[in-house]
């Protein structure tokens, strides 16, 4: 792995920024160079939000992702807005409990009903981002599980740690649908 | 929990700035919330009480800089953080801090102005405000970080320069650099160079002159000291009409910085002696130059750069050197030409200076955009 660029997109309030932070922190624990940036509207919730993580063995110059290797989409609008920036044959990971239509693409598509899994197991959809991170680990093994877990623990201390870790585990155990049509 | 321990952290730029301030000895923060600088206040509000420091939210930016000046005169290292609009409100008092020789640090996290502009989006429009914002004959020290590591390193440096020269120092950051997260190596506290202001001996009486940087007493120590923004002599006595006293004071205040301009002016440079195309960049915009230069070199174009870590005093020497080698110098900025004019002043006649400007939406000049221009100009 020389350099991997990941974009996580969704709606404000889904924890898109936190997801990027945890992934970035875990990669730093693994000894990688990391830049994480974010972009969101002036509103607190409801508009599209994105978080970008660049993980590299070398020093990272430009901090902003133009074309990503991995795109995570957690809302229909976010998918439609960001799909054009996914590299040819890149990896697309979607929450298919929210996203129903995937536009035509050459990407390798993986679908996990993250929101559904979060609601069913933990009663709240806000854990969907942890499920997605688990699914990402399972599909790509981008950052080792032990570092991901440490990053979750360090980023979400206190009472919520255990549920977030369980949600992450659920993501690892999930069976993503490959190339759904 | 005290000061940050030695180690590698994954911090936001704002967090690195706040932790560096604490390590540099800052124990007082006053500020007023403003995007994209609020994270610095938020972090210090949590952390300063843990090290027996004080963080206070004032009623506005004018009061904030006033509180910081006052705190510095009690002997504390003090800072504030704001963005363009708040920085404008502070300008009068920045002149007061300069005139009274009050060491302090002001962080300006730039966003897209003028006025409210695009408050959450990045810009680099405050370069000239940081130099000329206050009135009167003034010299500024302004540092420009381009990574989270430098948000840490240059915050420490800002405090050191403030203490060494007894003057306000500005850390001119931007939305991208302050909000992004990167790994930061924090050295042990013993490895960090920390400068403290020169303190008076009990017999000292001249706190505003006689030496280039006079010793600074603290309020309550028993020294007889009047701090005034009016022109004053070496002993702090007001002198509102004598031309010589004014000339002596204001020239010394400017000279104590200008005479050390070369020591203060730091840059990162690459291939400046053997390039056809040169680039001068700073802050977030400079993050595009590394890849652009790498690509350009694979295309056989000899490219070099000077990346400004200090903006003011302006690093003239390295730019002159770049201009001797480069036929053309590109100056990418997220404003409508500010540093461009400074580069021109130093290098015009030696090299052709080409501005590259992009504003709005917080969009950075990309390495690809820069490369296209390098290729075009190299033809």
Are B169 and B288 part of one and the same domain? no
Q: pLDDT tens for residues B75-95?
A: 999 999 999 999 999 999 999
State the count of interchain CB pairs (< 8 A) between A and B. 59
Q: Is residue B95 part of a domain?
A: yes
B158: in domain: yes
- Verify that B39 and B141 share a domain, yes or no: yes
- Of B191, B220, B239, the residue that ends a domain is B191
Residue B333: its pLDDT value, please? 98
Q: Are residues B186 and B280 in the same domain?
A: no
Q: Is B367 on the interface with A (CB under 8 A)?
A: yes
Among residues B164, B191, B218, the one where a domain terminates is B191
Domain count, chain B: 2
Tens digit of each residue's pLDDT (9 = 90 or more) over B278-329: 999 999 999 999 999 999 999 999 999 999 999 999 999 999 999 999 999 9
> Is a pLDDT exceeding 80 seen at residue A46?
no
Task: Judge whether residue B36 has pLDDT over 80.
Answer: yes
Which residue among B8, B179, B366 sits closest to A62, beta carbon to beta carbon? Answer: B366
- Point out the residue among A34, A37, A61 whose CB comes nearest to the CB of B291: A61
The predicted-structure confidence for A70-86, as pLDDT tens digits, reads as follows: 999 999 999 999 999 99
Are B270 and B186 part of one and the same domain? no
Same-domain status, B40 and B176 = yes
% of chain B surpassing 90 pLDDT: 99
Mutate to test the interface with A, among B36, B180, B361, B362 (most CBs of A within 10 A): B180
Determine, yes or no, domain membership for B272: yes
CA atoms within 13 A on the CB side of B194: 15
Answer yes or no: do B50 and B179 share one domain. Answer: yes
Whose CA is closest to B215, among B227, B239, B197, B189?
B197
Residue range(s) defining the domain that contains residue B291: 266-378
Interface pTM, i.e. ipTM: 0.92
Give the integer Cα–Cα distance in Å for A130 and B367: 33
Domain CATH for B129: 3.40.50.970
- Asked if residue B103 is part of any domain, the answer here is yes
Res B1 pLDDT > 70? no
Residue with tokens 């000279």: B255
DSSP 8-state symbol, A126: G
List of chain A residues whose C-beta atoms are within 8 Å of the C-beta of residue B182: 33-36, 60, 63
Same domain, B27 and B161: yes
The answer on B186 and B38 residing in a single domain is yes
Contact A61 B367 (CB under 8 A): yes
B223 falls within a domain:
no
Indicate whether B246 belongs to any domain. no
Helix A145-155, helix A16-29: angle, nearest 10: 120
In a domain, B162, yes or no: yes
Instruction: Give tens-digit pLDDT for B92-138.
Output: 999 999 999 999 999 999 999 999 999 999 999 999 999 999 999 99
Within 98-117 of A, beta carbons closer than 8 Å to B belong to none
In 3D space, the residue among A150, A167, A162 whose CA is nearest the CA of residue A15 turns out to be A167
Same domain, B182 and B270: no
Does A44 have pLDDT greater than 60? no
| A contacts of B8 (beta carbons < 8 Å) | 28
* In-domain check, residue B360: yes
- Do B290 and B142 belong together in one domain? no
10 Å CB burial of residue A120 (0-12, 13-18, 19+) is exposed
CATH code, B372: 3.40.50.920
Q: pLDDT tens digits for A92-101?
A: 999 999 999 9
Of A23, A41, A61, which to mutate for an interface test with B (greatest number of B Cβ within 10 Å)? Answer: A61
The token pair at B276 is 């056809």
- pLDDT value of position A45: 61
Q: A53 pairs with which residues across the strands?
A: A6, A36
Report pLDDT for B72: 98
Q: For the residues A11-25, what does the mean pLDDT come to? A: 93
Residue A41 confidence (pLDDT) above 80: no
Single out the residue in B191, B207, B238 at which a domain terminates: B191
Residues A136-180: pLDDT tens digits? 999 999 999 999 999 999 999 888 999 999 999 999 999 888 776
Domain coordinates of chain A in residue numbers?
3-178
* CATH number 3.40.920.10 given to A3-178: yes
Summarize pLDDT for B166-213 with one digit per residue, the tens. 999 999 999 999 999 999 999 999 999 999 999 999 999 999 999 999
pLDDT confidence tier of residue A129, bands split at 50, 70 and 90: very high
Contacts of B331 by beta carbon, 8 Å cutoff, 6+ apart: B279, B280, B281, B337, B339, B340, B343, B353, B354, B355, B356
Q: Choose the closest CB to A28 out of B10, B179, B289.
A: B10
């Amino acid at each position: 792995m020389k350099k991997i660029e990941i974009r996580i997109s969704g709606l404000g309030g889904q924890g898109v920024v936190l997801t990027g932070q945890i992934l970035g922190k875990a990669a730093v624990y693994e000894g990688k160079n990391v830049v994480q940036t974010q972009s969101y509207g002036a509103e607190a919730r409801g508009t599209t939000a994105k978080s970008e993580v660049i993980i590299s063995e070398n020093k990272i110059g430009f901090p902003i992702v133009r074309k990503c290797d991995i795109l995570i989409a957690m809302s229909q609008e976010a998918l439609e807005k960001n799909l054009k920036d996914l590299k040819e044959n890149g990896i697309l990971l979607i929450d298919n409990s929210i996203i129903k239509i995937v536009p035509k693409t050459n990407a390798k598509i993986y679908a996990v009903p993250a929101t559904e899994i979060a609601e069913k197991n933990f009663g709240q959809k806000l854990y969907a981002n942890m499920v997605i991170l688990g699914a990402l680990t399972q599909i790509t093994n981008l950052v080792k599980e032990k570092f991901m877990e440490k990053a979750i623990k360090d980023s979400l201390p206190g009472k919520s740690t255990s549920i977030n870790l369980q949600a992450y585990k659920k993501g690892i155990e999930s069976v993503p649908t490959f190339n759904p049509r | 929990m005290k000061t940050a321990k030695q180690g590698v952290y994954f911090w936001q730029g704002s967090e690195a700035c706040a932790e560096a301030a604490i390590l540099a000895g800052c124990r007082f923060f006053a500020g007023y919330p403003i995007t994209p600088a609020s994270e610095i206040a938020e972090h210090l509000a949590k952390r300063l009480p843990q090290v027996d420091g004080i963080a206070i939210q004032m009623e506005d930016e004018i009061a904030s800089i006033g509180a910081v000046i006052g705190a510095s005169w009690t002997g504390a290292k003090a800072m504030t953080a704001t963005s363009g609009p708040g920085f404008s409100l502070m300008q009068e008092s920045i002149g007061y801090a300069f005139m009274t020789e009050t060491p302090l640090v002001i962080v300006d996290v730039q966003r897209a102005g003028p006025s409210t502009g695009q408050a959450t989006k990045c810009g680099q429009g405050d370069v000239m405000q940081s130099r000329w914002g206050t009135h009167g004959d003034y010299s500024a020290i302004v540092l420009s970080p381009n990574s989270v590591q430098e948000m840490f390193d240059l915050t420490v440096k800002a405090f050191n320069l403030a203490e060494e020269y007894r003057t306000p120092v500005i850390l001119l950051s931007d939305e991208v650099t302050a909000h992004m997260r990167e790994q930061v190596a924090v050295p042990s506290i013993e490895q960090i160079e920390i400068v403290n202001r020169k303190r008076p001996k009990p017999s000292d009486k001249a706190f505003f002159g006689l030496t280039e940087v006079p010793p600074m007493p603290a309020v309550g120590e028993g020294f007889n000291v009047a701090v005034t923004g009016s022109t004053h002599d070496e002993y702090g006595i007001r002198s509102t009409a004598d031309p010589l006293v004014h000339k002596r004071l204001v020239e010394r205040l400017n000279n104590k910085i200008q005479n050390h301009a070369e020591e203060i002016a730091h840059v990162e440079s690459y291939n400046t002696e053997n390039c056809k195309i040169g680039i001068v960049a700073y802050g977030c915009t400079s993050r595009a130059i590394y890849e652009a230069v790498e690509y350009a070199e694979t295309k056989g174009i000899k490219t070099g750069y000077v990346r400004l870590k200090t903006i003011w005093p302006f690093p003239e020497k390295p730019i002159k050197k770049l201009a001797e080698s480069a036929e053309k110098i590109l100056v990418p900025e997220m404003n409508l030409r500010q540093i461009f004019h400074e580069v021109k002043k130093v290098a015009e006649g030696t090299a052709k200076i080409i501005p590259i400007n992009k504003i709005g939406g917080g969009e950075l000049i990309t390495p690809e955009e820069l490369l296209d221009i390098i290729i075009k100009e190299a033809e």
